[in-house]
Amino acid sequence: EGNLEAIRTLVAVARRHPDNIDAIIIGSENLLRQELTVEQLQAYLRHARRELAGLKVKVGYADSHDMLKRHPQIISEVDIVFANFYPYWEGYAIEDSLPAVQRAWQELLAITGDKPVAISETGWPSCGNAVGKAIPSPENSARYLREFRQWAQREHVRYFYFSAFDASWKAEHEGPQGACWGLFDENGALKKGMTEALNGAATNTRPIHLQPADH
């Protein structure tokens, strides 16, 4: 019932502001975390599409690129594919991370047909534990951002970068690296190397402090 209520709220917003909303995401990494079965997720996506009938609002679902490739039936249910790419969590060394993303991106495009695809999350932490050959550090975080942006701009890849600010509360859920994904620290200071990685497009700022959601 909570999920259906969330969808009802989202649909109501889309109906009030149809010209301001291009797409909505129903679910995020629910298959990766084994929170829903494929059949349950399909039912939610179909329900949302029925409720949005008559509006030019695309319905999407976000998950890791691996999960989407394993479940092409989910791709068939959406108007736009949102895929998460985290070479850090997959244990790639920083020098191998972008080639890994490029390979995975091409593999995903091979099964999505003519549907639009966007990278819904990607990034590299500036501190925390090593995962395989993936070493979190300010230098590697800035290098990944720089190399990823250059590739995405060259190939016209639409993406969302994770994340703007560090969030210390995430350490409870992901380990120490959970608090270190930001381009800025929690006080709004741009991290080491990020000015160059962003081509000077960002300066220090003051973040808006939000409380984490309950679910």
User: DSSP letters of 121-157?
Assistant: EE---SSS--BTTB---HHHHHHHHHHHHHHHHHHT-
Question: For the chain, what is the mean pLDDT?
Answer: 93
210, pLDDT greater than 80? no
For residues 135-163, give the mean pLDDT.
Answer: 97
**Is the link from the previous residue into 163 a cis peptide, with omega within 30 of 0?**
yes
The full length of the chain comes to: 215
Q: Which are the contacts of 26, defined by CB distance < 8 A and separation ≥ 6?
A: 7, 10, 44, 45, 48, 59, 60, 61
Largest CA distance in the chain: 49
Identify the pLDDT of residue 215: 42
CA distance 98 to 25: 26
What digits encode the pLDDT tens for the residues 78-100? 999 999 999 999 999 999 999 99
Phi then psi dihedrals of residue 129, to 5 deg: -90, 150
- Give the model's confidence band at 214: pLDDT under 50 very low, under 70 low, under 90 confident, else very high: very low
* Rounded to 5°, angle at Cα 79 from 61 and 12: 70
CA distance 52 to 107: 30
CA distance 197 to 124: 13
Identify the pLDDT of residue 199: 83
Identify the pLDDT of residue 208: 57
CA distance 72 to 67: 9
189, pLDDT greater than 80? yes
Smallest Cα–Cα separation from 52: which of 28, 17, 2, 76? 17
Give me the percent of the chain exceeding a pLDDT of 70.
Answer: 93
Order of strands across the sheet that contains 58-64? 23-28, 58-64, 80-85, 117-122
What pTM was computed for the model?
0.91
